Amino acid sequence: MKLDSNNHSVFLMYYHLVLAVKYRRQVFDNEISEFAKDMFAEIGSKYNISLVEWNHDKDHIHILFKAHPNSELSKFINAYKSASSRLIKRDFPHIRKKLWKEMFWSRSFCLLTTGGAPIDTIKKYIENQGQK
């Protein structure tokens, strides 16, 4: 297992994030998922966050990511939700019609540490959740 490091410490911090579409509207397809995934990677790089695994269902996404100890996770999640909501509705007019003036994402989210489970176990869990 390779540890991440910076000038004065070593660490390995994995998180599992679940974001649901507001009112569980079934709007995700492969194209919107890829768009949201690319945005996650782009915005995450500004917060020392790296995408590891991404899966989606019609009304939510599962994300496995790594972060540095100095990453401000709640600020990152809010920045991601805000930017992705705005850009998804801008670039996908059929989504704008479905959600009208609503935010794209539900206000709540689920963020879990992986609890020391091997990364392969977490990946299998996320894959199985995406198939339900």
CATH number, domain of 120, equals 3.30.70.1290
For the stretch 20-71, pLDDT in tens is 998 888 999 999 999 999 999 999 999 999 999 999 999 999 999 999 999 9
Mean pLDDT (whole number) for 75-80: 97
Q: How many domains does the chain have?
A: 1
Going through 21-124 in order, the beta strands assigned E by DSSP cover: 49-56, 60-67, 110-113
- DSSP summary character for residue 69: T
According to the model, what pLDDT value does residue 115 have?
62
pTM: predicted TM-score of the whole model, two decimal places: 0.83
Q: Do 44 and 65 meet the contact criterion of CB atoms below 8 Å apart?
A: yes
Q: Do 85 and 105 meet the contact criterion of CB atoms below 8 Å apart?
A: yes
Q: Give the domain range for residue 121.
A: 4-130
According to the model, what pLDDT value does residue 132 have?
58
Burial class (CB in 10 A: 0-12, 13-18, 19+), 44: buried
